[in-house]
Amino acid sequence: MFGAVGVLLLMAVSFGVGNIVLTHLLGPSRKGEVKGTVYESGMNPIGSARRRFNVRFYIVAMTFLLFDVEIVFFYPWAATFTKLGGPEGDGLAGMFLVRMLFFLLTSVIAFTYAWRKGVFRYD
């Protein structure tokens, strides 16, 4: 019964380990002081934390969140949607499609608002 889970685990682990091994074997090996430092999302890991950086990072993160959360809502809906169309679904499929489209519309409004405000302009 848990064999499938075991296979999934094995695949996950081997994908991760395999990538590291393959990169090590195939990739070019350039070592340097900067390359050896801790990865801190593109920031310099040493020095004062009280420095300015562009507010755009936050805006991009928030815009990402908008669509991320949307997908989280989509998933359970999509999983049950096919059952709503059948005879036991009582013809609710149309109503639920419209509801999800309304939800999608709210995200689209947020997206167009962000677009109009110039969130995606990088000049």
Q: Closest CB to other proteins among 60 and 89? A: 89
Q: Closest CB to other proteins among 7 and 66? A: 66
Calpha distance 26→28 (Å, rounded):
7
The yes or no reply on residue 90 touching other proteins (CB under 8 A) is: yes
The yes or no reply on residue 33 touching other proteins (CB under 8 A) is: no
Q: Closest CB to other proteins among 19 and 82? A: 82
Q: Which of 109, 99, 95 is nearest to 74 (CA)?
A: 99
Which residues, 6+ apart, have CB-to-CB distance to 45 below 8 Å? 37, 38
Q: Closest CB to other proteins among 33 and 123? A: 123
DSSP state of 88: G
* Min separation Cβ 113 and other proteins, Å: 6
CA angle 119/59/53 to nearest 5° reads 110
Q: Which of 63, 57, 28 is nearest to 41 (CA)?
A: 57
Scan residues 46-85 and list those touching other proteins (CB under 8 A). 80, 83-84
How many chain residues touch other proteins (CB under 8 A)? 13
The yes or no reply on residue 89 touching other proteins (CB under 8 A) is: yes
Calpha distance 38→4 (Å, rounded):
37
Contact residues for other proteins, defined by CB under 8 A: 80, 83-84, 88-90, 92, 95, 109, 113, 116-118
